[in-house]
Amino acid sequence: MLLRISLIVAILAGLGAGVVSYLDISDKIPALTKQRDDEKTAKVAEITAHGKTKTELKKTQSDLAQTKQELADTQNERDKAVKIAEDKTKIADQLTVKLANTTRERDDAQAFLARYKASDLTPEQVLTLNKQVKASRMEVEVANAEKLVLLHTIGRLTNELNKYIGPEQYVKLRADLHGKILVVDPKWDFVVLNIGEDQGVIADGELLVSHSGELIGKVKVRSVQKDRCIANLVPGWKIKEMMEGDEVSPAHPAT
C-alpha cells in the first residue's frame, strides 16, 4: 500500500514537473518564434541586398567598360584630328613656300622685264647679245684652261732648269696642293697618290706624308699622270709605316 502511494506521489510529481516545464517552454515559444522569424527576415533582407549589390556591381562594370570604349574612341578621334591638322599644317607650309618662290620669281621676272624695256633693245638684239655673251664665256673658259696648262708647263720647265743651275735647288709645288695615298707597296717603298698633273704635281717634287696630323715620312714623285702620280720613299725618311688614306702635302711649297 505504501508502495502504491509512493508511486502515485512520484507520478504526480513527474506530471507536475512536466506541466511546469511545458508552461515554461510555452512561455518561451513565442519569443523563439519571433527570434526565428526576425532572423529569417534579416537573412532574406541580406540576400536581397546582396543580390541588389551584385546587380549594381554588374551594371557598374558594364558602365565602366562602355566608358573605357568611349574614351578609346574619343582618343582615336582626337589622334585622327591631330593627324589631319598636322597634314594640313604641312600643306599650308608647302603652299607658303611655293607662294614665296612664286612671288620671288614674279618679282625677278618683273625686274628683268623692266630692265629689258629700259634697254630699248628688240628681241632679235637681245638674242644676238645673249649669243655673244655665251661665246665670250666660252672663250674665257678656253683661255683659263690654256693658262693653267701654261702655268703647269712653266713650273715643270722651271724645276727642270733648277736641276742644272745648282744641286741644292728643290722642285717647288703649289702651296695648296694636298692629296692622299691610294696604294702602298711596302716591298718596293713606293706609293700611288690621288693627285696628278691636273692638280699641279711635278716630277721630282717632294711630299711630306702624315697620319692623323703626325709626320711619318717623305716621298719623291717619279711618274706623273693626269690625276695620279707615283712616288718613292725618300731614303732615311721612313719614320712609320705608311698606309692608304694618309695625307700628303708639299715639302717645298712655292711662295
Spatial contact of 234 and 222, defined as CB atoms under 8 Å apart: no
Distance, in Å, from the CA atom of 112 to the CA atom of 119, rounded to the nearest integer, reads: 11
Cα separations (Å) of 186 from 82, 137, 234, 235, 237?
A: 64, 48, 13, 13, 14
Q: Which of 42-51, 52-61, 130-139 has the highest mean pLDDT?
A: 52-61
pTM of the model as a whole: 0.39
Cell reading at 250: 708639299
Residue with the larger pLDDT of the pair 62 and 198: 198
Q: For residue range 101-145, what is the model confidence (pLDDT) as tens digits?
A: 888 888 887 777 777 667 666 677 667 767 776 776 777 676 666
Q: For residue range 202-229, what is the model confidence (pLDDT) as tens digits?
A: 998 999 999 999 999 999 999 999 999 9
Cell reading at 13: 510529481
- Mean pLDDT value across residues 25-35: 67
Residue with the larger pLDDT of the pair 199 and 124: 199
Distance, in Å, from the CA atom of 174 to the CA atom of 196, rounded to the nearest integer, reads: 12
Mean pLDDT over each residue of the chain, to the nearest integer: 79
Residue 243 is predicted with a pLDDT of: 94
